[in-house]
Structure 1
Amino acid sequence: MAGKVVLTYFDGRGKMESIRWLLTAAEVDFDEVFLTKREQYQQLLDDGSLMFQQVPLVEIDGMKLIQTKAILNYIAEKYNLHGQDIKDRVKINMYSEGLMDLMEMFMTLIWTPDRKLKLKTIETKAKERYLPAFEKALTGTVYLVGGRLSMADVLLLECSLMLEEEFPGILNDFSKVKSFQTRMMQIPAFAKFLQPGSKRKPQPDEDLKKTVMGVLYLKLL
């Protein structure tokens, strides 16, 4: 019998947060190991756990997985969140990768000298490029693909909440996305994940930035 899923990353959102959300959707409990010291990261390098010397790292089914998209796809496949066939899957992947592109802009905010300018860029792209696409996709349907919950839905919920944290009211002109968000938040697993004390992480701050720098010696999340 496979052991409990273990996530190794920083005690913050970054590239691990979408993985946390997807495991929550699958109702899979997981443990977390937080990197706080350079020695922890060095040990992962020394024992060969990090193929490309990068985190996040997810231990699942006897494997040590890296690369966010590969991890998400594995979880989605394993827990039936990746559509019914290959055509569903490619649509789910298109939506998901678009959402990840948008969310990665948020991840770089903490490293950006001109935060105000970066936020303006994110807001503009969200309103002009991403939200219109999802507003159209949700016309006449509850879920994005195949009439059932998928990885794309999970990432859209996560992303919509991130957008509202920085831009209150941004969904006012996107009623279908807002209605979708409201429905998704009522799913028991998500409702619990959104409560204080859950494994959902807060927005990154200077303390997290210092920790990442101390562990990786890199200005990357």
Structure 2
Amino acid sequence: MDQLYLSGCHLSISAESLNIQAPSRFAAYALRRRWASDLAVSAKKLKRRRAIVSWPGCDRPYRIPTCILNYDCAMIKPQPQRGNYLLGADYLRVTEFIKEKREEGRIVVITSMWDDICLHTNDLLKPERGTIMPHQWTGFNYSFLWRDSKDDYKQLIERLVRDGCIPQFQYRLRRPDGSFGEYQTDYYYVENYLSVPVRIGVSRVEDWRLLPEPSSN
């Protein structure tokens, strides 16, 4: 198992389970999606019946029974990466990609999949679209902006981990100034950018609009 995915996890053993507490929901989802069989093998070696993967605040952890090792089921097979254009890219390839997209006039934003912290943006993310200056995005916590569109966020993470990229993903965000907007972005998943799994968002400058406030009902 890639140690990157266990980074920040807390391991413990109970009477029947190997317990893995991941640092975030994304980390837990990635562990289950990519390493279910490895976790089941580890639990079996410890003479436990299952592996349980949880994350802070979760009420329904992922349960991976060791019995899956007895079957040729899709759950434990490697998942095909249909959109793996950048999946295994190194730092230099990502840097080239950023440059290529900037030359095409596209906004590029790199965000950590661990904690939703913005690691990079370019000069085309103007205040008209984002309400703050480009340099102010570096270090910004995007999870704050998804607070009123959690279903969109959940869909983004699950599809990105599954497929590797999502073209023209439409989503809503609460903007830094409190207004509500809709955006369209091409997303790419990179497993190891400076030792962090990230999503790279590539957008046309004009692909956004303001939305009315969502109903409180």
TM-score computed with the length of structure 2 as normaliser = 0.24
Higher relative contact order (Cα pairs below 8 Å, separated by 6+ residues): 1
Larger radius of gyration: 2
Give the TM-score, by structure 1 length.
0.24
Query: If each structure's strand is expressed as a fraction of its own residues, which one has the higher value?
Result: 2
